[in-house]
């Protein structure tokens, strides 16, 4: 009887009218130029010291190797360095510049850097008050006393959220490309990027490595970022259903995300930490071939963990939302 | 005392149901509904019916369970036991069909402040099948909001929000309109306008369910009333018959009170109401200091006046006072505490 389309439209209109998405765009418009400027400074200083990127890369490899022979560096770091050296060597051997300055490379770097904290933060800005916001202002009462089943209302909110998360990633990519292009030029789509490094301990297995054009790499990467972002969105929706105050729901989610990124940085020997969702957010690392924070993690594992958390969050959200008494 | 009122009330319920035309359609039926929240019983097995086209008052002091009941009527919370039907549809089992016939404002009329009144109405119109732009225009006109409808809701006064809330509730042409304490925060002029508006809706065949803690309000607005106290409905009936069930008083203010009192006492048609039984509003007694309260058939009043003046007793005032719903309510809730 009641189709879901008008409901999705309602939810989309509400997020838009709340000007949440405009805030997100404003944040991007401030941050991307800042990073572009920083990147430009780095390129300029590199250009002063090295006439050729090959020399620069060789220098970096030598630096890392020197560090490897040092006594004072912890073994954990050395492992990262060893892997990085092998990968840089691979790029050098195949005569491909891994950091060629152009807008697409910048976009790739920006997405890579923002997947664990920045993108989740922007997702929270949209997702955290979808339900709790309507409860604290009291409009939830109006919404739920209309002749529509509760699960349809929550589903429409979830679909609207999915739309906004997708739009958010698209906007991030487009804005990075457009803004960085002003400085670095708009080329770089077809540059090759190597993917398929397999890390075993501190050895890199490069038998499966193959070059892909950078546009394709960016596409794959954005897909992975989308999966991370949607996991955050599902969890934020759940917290928003469970917690009445929007502030509390943002704090809860941020705490979980930051905890995860600290845990991954600790490269912990606490192995079961790998089942925590926020340790698995950096899916793009698997594409680049960086070592995972905890042994035994790989792309499929992380996808499964994120999927499990997302689906559980949705089940909890829908169960609680359709059953709970609206007392305020 | 307690027994008498309780019996009277039960009689009122029964006769109310029996004597009213039985064919009157029931649009809202609450049957033995109970609600426990956190182990406390908030609502204790309440039952009542609301008929088509009537204004039904839901009267009780704050904290008696009015809002909890209303939330159950509109499926915001689920009853622990019991059933609620709207136009024959079970609210819990068939909410899509039941809620289609209800328009409501629960507590305050909260709308999206960051959207205009019109956008809010569009939003709620999309949630129900068959509401077009024409209908939105219609309800805007009904509540007289044409001038401000395209302003953001956060700029509205409480009165405006109230109107917008009612407009929203009317969108789906409901059979029952539920208003929770609708006069809260309105000025006297606004209250009067609301009363006239509610009456006109009822005349068009809509049923209205209005909660209030003010007895005068219910008495002015409603046809029938359910009185709730501590989660129990202690009376359901016609407002008029509940009021007239208590005999009206005749107050005599006499020059020469003692002689007058003797004369009144001597008359077999007159009963003097002792002070402790008297239930009158202070605003009435303050105007008639020293008045003697009696109950008597009103055809005897004229002969009594003649008798008094023949006996040389000056009559300063004679006043007939109907006990208000408030007095009725006081006796009932007092009975409650005695139990």
Residue A240 has pLDDT above 70, yes or no: yes
> Would you state the pLDDT for residue B148?
92
Whether residue A192 contacts residue A96, with contact meaning beta carbons closer than 8 Å, is answered with yes
Q: Please give the angle made by the CA atoms of B14, B21 and B324, to the nearest 5 degrees.
A: 55
Whether residue B239 contacts residue B325, with contact meaning beta carbons closer than 8 Å, is answered with yes
Compute the CA torsion angle A266, A270, A272, A274 (nearest 10 deg): 20
Higher pLDDT, B260 or A7: A7
* Average pLDDT, integer, range A136-152: 93
CA distance A252 to A262: 16
CA distance B87 to B29: 8
Least confident of A187-196, B13-22, B112-121: B13-22
In a domain, A328, yes or no: no
Q: Do B114 and A9 touch (CB under 8 A)?
A: no
CA distances from B22 to B8, B15, B57, B84, B223 (A): 21, 12, 20, 20, 16
> Would you state the pLDDT for residue A269?
73
Least confident of A27-36, A99-108, B99-108: A99-108
Q: Do B114 and A10 touch (CB under 8 A)?
A: no
Query: Which of A6, A19, A141 is closest, CB to CB, to B106?
Result: A141
Q: Do B71 and A138 touch (CB under 8 A)?
A: no
* Average pLDDT, integer, range A198-205: 77
Cβ atoms < 10 Å from Cβ of B282? 7
Instruction: Name the phi and psi angles at B231, rounded to 5.
Output: 80, 10
Q: Do A14 and B123 touch (CB under 8 A)?
A: yes
DSSP 8-class letter at B276: G
Q: Is A326 on the interface with B (CB under 8 A)?
A: yes
Q: Do A149 and B96 touch (CB under 8 A)?
A: yes
In a domain, A188, yes or no: yes
Per-residue model confidence as pLDDT tens digits over B53-93 = 999 999 988 888 999 999 999 999 999 999 999 999 999 99
> Would you state the pLDDT for residue B329?
67
In a domain, A136, yes or no: yes
Instruction: Name the phi and psi angles at B64, rounded to 5.
Output: -90, -10
In a domain, A78, yes or no: no
- β-sheet with B176-180: strand ranges across: B102-105, B176-180, B207-212, B55-59, B224-229, B232-238
* Average pLDDT, integer, range A15-24: 93
In a domain, A59, yes or no: no
Token readout for B173 is: 């042409």
Q: Do B37 and A146 touch (CB under 8 A)?
A: no
Higher pLDDT, B300 or B16: B300
Q: pLDDT tier at B328 (50, 70, 90 boundaries)? A: low
Q: In angstroms, how far is the first alpha carbon of chain A from the final one?
A: 29
In a domain, A81, yes or no: no
CA distance B318 to B302: 10
> Would you state the pLDDT for residue B92?
93
Token readout for B285 is: 């007694």
Per-residue model confidence as pLDDT tens digits over B270-312 = 888 887 777 676 777 777 888 888 888 878 888 888 888 888 8
Which residue of B34, B75, B127 is the best one to mutate when testing the A interface, meaning the one whose CB has the most A CBs within 10 A?
B127
> Would you state the pLDDT for residue B242?
72
Q: pLDDT tier at A211 (50, 70, 90 boundaries)? A: confident
Contacts of B168 in chain A (CB under 8 A): 142
Say which residues have a Cβ less than 8 Å from residue B330's Cβ, sequence separation at least 6. B279
Residues in chain B: 339
CA distances from B86 to B25, B252, B317 (A): 11, 50, 51
> Would you state the pLDDT for residue B339?
33
Question: What are the helix (H) ranges across chain B?
Answer: 2-19, 66-73, 95-99, 117-125, 133-142, 158-170, 188-203, 215-221, 239-245, 257-266, 282-285, 301-310, 325-338
Whether residue A67 contacts residue A81, with contact meaning beta carbons closer than 8 Å, is answered with yes
Residue B335 has pLDDT above 80, yes or no: no
Residue A2 has pLDDT above 80, yes or no: no
In a domain, A33, yes or no: yes
Q: Do A137 and B110 touch (CB under 8 A)?
A: yes
Q: Searching chain B, which residue's CA lies closest to the CA of residue A7?
A: B127
Residue B10 has pLDDT above 60, yes or no: no
Residue A70 has pLDDT above 70, yes or no: yes
> Would you state the pLDDT for residue B56?
95
Strands B249-255 and B292-295: antiparallel
Whether residue A229 contacts residue A306, with contact meaning beta carbons closer than 8 Å, is answered with no
Q: Please give the angle made by the CA atoms of B65, A145 and B54, to the nearest 5 degrees.
A: 65
Compute the CA torsion angle B252, B255, B259, B263 (nearest 10 deg): -30
CA distance B34 to B69: 9
Q: Do A145 and B75 touch (CB under 8 A)?
A: yes
Q: Searching chain A, which residue's CA lies closest to the CA of residue B68?
A: A327
What total number of domains does chain A contain? 1
Token readout for B334 is: 């007092």
Q: Do A142 and B124 touch (CB under 8 A)?
A: yes
Average pLDDT score, chain A: 88
Q: Searching chain B, which residue's CA lies closest to the CA of residue A4?
A: B127
Q: pLDDT tier at A1 (50, 70, 90 boundaries)? A: very low
Say which residues have a Cβ less than 8 Å from residue A172's Cβ, sequence separation at least 6. A28, A110, A111, A114, A119, A122
Contacts of B75 in chain A (CB under 8 A): 144-145
C-alpha closest to that of B227 among B242, B247, B208: B242
Instruction: Name the phi and psi angles at B165, rounded to 5.
Output: -60, -45
Q: pLDDT tier at B247 (50, 70, 90 boundaries)? A: low
Token readout for B163 is: 């109107």
Q: Searching chain A, which residue's CA lies closest to the CA of residue B101?
A: A147
> Would you state the pLDDT for residue B11?
37
Residue B2 has pLDDT above 70, yes or no: no
Distance from CA of A326 to the nearest CA of B (A): 5
- For the ranges A20-34, A288-302, B13-27, B293-307, the maximum mean pLDDT occurs at A20-34
Contacts of B74 in chain A (CB under 8 A): 145
> Would you state the pLDDT for residue B334?
62
Whether residue A195 contacts residue A289, with contact meaning beta carbons closer than 8 Å, is answered with yes
* Average pLDDT, integer, range B325-335: 64
Residue A258: enclosing H or E segment and its boundaries? helix A246-265
Q: Searching chain B, which residue's CA lies closest to the CA of residue A153?
A: B127
Q: Is A1 on the interface with B (CB under 8 A)?
A: yes
Q: Which domain holds residue A196?
A: 4-49+99-323
Whether residue A32 contacts residue A183, with contact meaning beta carbons closer than 8 Å, is answered with no
Query: Which of B107, B112, B168 is closest, CB to CB, to A14?
Result: B112
- The percent of residues in chain B predicted with pLDDT above 70, rounded, is 85
Q: Do A147 and B128 touch (CB under 8 A)?
A: yes
Contacts of A6 in chain B (CB under 8 A): 126-127
* Average pLDDT, integer, range A253-268: 83
In a domain, A297, yes or no: yes
* Average pLDDT, integer, range B123-134: 93
Orientation angle between helical segments A299-323 and A150-184, nearest 10 degrees: 140
Query: Which of A139, A144, A148 is closest, CB to CB, to B110?
Result: A139
| Lookup result for tokens 């369970």 | B65
> Would you state the pLDDT for residue B333?
64
Contacts of A7 in chain B (CB under 8 A): 126-127
> Would you state the pLDDT for residue B18?
41
> Would you state the pLDDT for residue B178?
95
Cβ atoms < 10 Å from Cβ of B302? 10
Contacts of A10 in chain B (CB under 8 A): 123, 126-127
Instruction: Name the phi and psi angles at B67, rounded to 5.
Output: -70, -35
Distance from CA of B273 to the nearest CA of A (A): 47
Residue B234: enclosing H or E segment and its boundaries? strand B232-238
CA distances from A46 to A97, A167, B301 (A): 13, 35, 112
How many Cα atoms sit within 13 Å of B93 on the Cβ side? 7
C-alpha closest to that of A87 among A189, A191, A190, A196: A196
CA distances from B289 to A276, B251, B304 (A): 80, 10, 20
> Would you state the pLDDT for residue B243?
66
Q: pLDDT tier at A131 (50, 70, 90 boundaries)? A: very high
CA distances from B46 to A295, B91, B215 (A): 63, 16, 20
Residues of B with CB under 8 A from a CB of A: 37, 71, 74-78, 95-100, 102, 104, 106-108, 110-115, 119, 123-124, 126-129, 168, 172
* Average pLDDT, integer, range A294-304: 87
Query: Which of A17, A138, A149 is closest, CB to CB, to B115?
Result: A17
Contacts of B108 in chain A (CB under 8 A): 138
Query: Which of B78, B104, B129 is closest, CB to CB, to A325?
Result: B78
> Would you state the pLDDT for residue B41?
92
CA distance A304 to A308: 6
Q: Searching chain A, which residue's CA lies closest to the CA of residue B96?
A: A147
How many Cα atoms sit within 13 Å of A312 on the Cβ side? 7
Q: Do A17 and B119 touch (CB under 8 A)?
A: yes
Q: Do A148 and B126 touch (CB under 8 A)?
A: no
Residues in chain A: 328
CA distance B326 to B324: 5
Distance from CA of B210 to the nearest CA of A (A): 17
* Average pLDDT, integer, range B20-35: 83
Residue B51 has pLDDT above 50, yes or no: yes
Instruction: Name the phi and psi angles at A94, rounded to 5.
Output: -95, 10
Q: Is A19 on the interface with B (CB under 8 A)?
A: yes
Residue B226 has pLDDT above 70, yes or no: yes
> Structure pTM?
0.85
Residue B117 has pLDDT above 70, yes or no: yes
Distance from CA of B59 to the nearest CA of A (A): 20
């Amino acid at each position: 009887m009641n189709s879901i389309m008008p409901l999705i439209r309602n939810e989309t209109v509400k997020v838009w009218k709340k000007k949440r998405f405009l805030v997100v765009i404003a944040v991007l418009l401030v941050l991307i130029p800042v990073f572009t400027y920083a990147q430009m400074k780095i390129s300029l200083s590199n250009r002063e010291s090295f006439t050729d990127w090959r020399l620069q890369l060789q220098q970096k490899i030598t630096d890392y190797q020197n560090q490897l022979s040092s006594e004072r560096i912890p073994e954990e770091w050395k492992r990262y360095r060893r892997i990085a050296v092998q990968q840089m060597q691979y790029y050098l051997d195949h005569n491909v510049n891994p950091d060629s300055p152009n807008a697409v490379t910048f976009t790739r770097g920006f997405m890579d850097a923002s997947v664990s904290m920045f993108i989740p933060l922007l997702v929270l800005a949209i997702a955290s008050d979808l339900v709790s916001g309507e409860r604290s202002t009291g409009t939830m009462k109006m919404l739920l006393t209309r002749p529509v089943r509760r699960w349809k209302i929550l589903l429409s909110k979830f679909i609207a959220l999915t739309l906004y998360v997708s739009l958010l990633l698209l906007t991030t990519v487009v804005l990075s490309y457009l803004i960085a292009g002003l400085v670095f030029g708009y080329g770089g789509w077809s540059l090759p990027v190597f993917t398929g490094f397999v890390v075993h301990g501190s050895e890199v297995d490069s038998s499966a490595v193959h070059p892909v054009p950078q546009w394709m790499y960016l596409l794959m990467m954005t897909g992975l970022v989308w999966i991370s972002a949607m996991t955050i969105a599902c969890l934020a929706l759940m917290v928003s259903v469970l917690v009445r105050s929007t502030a509390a729901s943002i704090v809860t989610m941020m705490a979980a995300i930051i905890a995860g990124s600290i845990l991954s940085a600790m490269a912990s020997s606490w192995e079961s930490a790998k089942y925590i969702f926020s340790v698995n957010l950096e899916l793009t690392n698997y594409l680049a071939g960086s070592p995972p924070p905890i042994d035994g993690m790989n792309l499929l594992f992380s996808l499964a963990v994120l999927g499990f958390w997302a689906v559980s969050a949705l089940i909890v959200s829908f169960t609680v939302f359709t059953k709970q008494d609206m007392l305020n | 005392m307690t027994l008498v009122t309780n019996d009277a009330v039960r009689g009122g319920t029964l006769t109310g149901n029996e004597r009213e035309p039985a064919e009157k359609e029931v649009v809202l039926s609450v049957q033995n509904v109970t609600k426990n929240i956190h182990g406390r019983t908030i609502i204790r097995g309440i039952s009542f019916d609301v008929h088509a086209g009537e204004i039904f008052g839901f009267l009780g002091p704050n904290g008696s369970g009015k809002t909890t009941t209303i939330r159950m009527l509109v499926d915001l919370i689920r009853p622990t036991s019991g059933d609620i039907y709207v136009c024959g549809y079970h609210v819990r089992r068939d909410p899509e069909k039941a809620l289609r016939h209800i328009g409501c404002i629960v507590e305050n009329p909260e709308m999206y402040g960051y959207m205009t009144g019109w956008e809010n109405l569009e939003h709620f119109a999309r949630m129900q099948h068959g509401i077009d732009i024409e209908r939105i225009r219609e309800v805007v006109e009904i509540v007289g909001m044409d001038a401000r409808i395209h302003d953001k809701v956060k700029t509205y006064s409480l009165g405006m929000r109230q109107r917008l809330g009612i407009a929203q509730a009317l969108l789906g042409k409901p059979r029952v309109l539920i208003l929770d304490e609708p006069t809260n925060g309105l000025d006297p002029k606004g209250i009067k306008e609301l009363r006239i508006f509610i009456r006109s809706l009822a005349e068009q065949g809509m049923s209205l369910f209005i909660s209030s803690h003010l007895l005068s309000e219910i008495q002015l607005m409603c046809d029938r009333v359910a009185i709730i106290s501590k989660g129990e409905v202690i009376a359901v009936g016609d407002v008029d018959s509940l009021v007239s069930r208590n005999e009206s008083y005749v107050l005599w203010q006499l020059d020469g009170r003692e002689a007058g009192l003797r004369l009144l006492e001597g008359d077999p048609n007159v009963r003097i109401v002792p002070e402790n039984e008297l239930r009158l509003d202070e605003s009435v007694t303050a105007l008639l200091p020293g008045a003697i309260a009696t109950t008597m058939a009103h055809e005897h009043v004229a002969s009594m006046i003649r008798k008094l003046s023949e006996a040389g007793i000056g009559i300063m005032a004679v006043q007939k006072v109907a006990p208000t719903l408030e007095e009725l309510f006081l006796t009932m809730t007092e009975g409650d505490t005695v139990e």
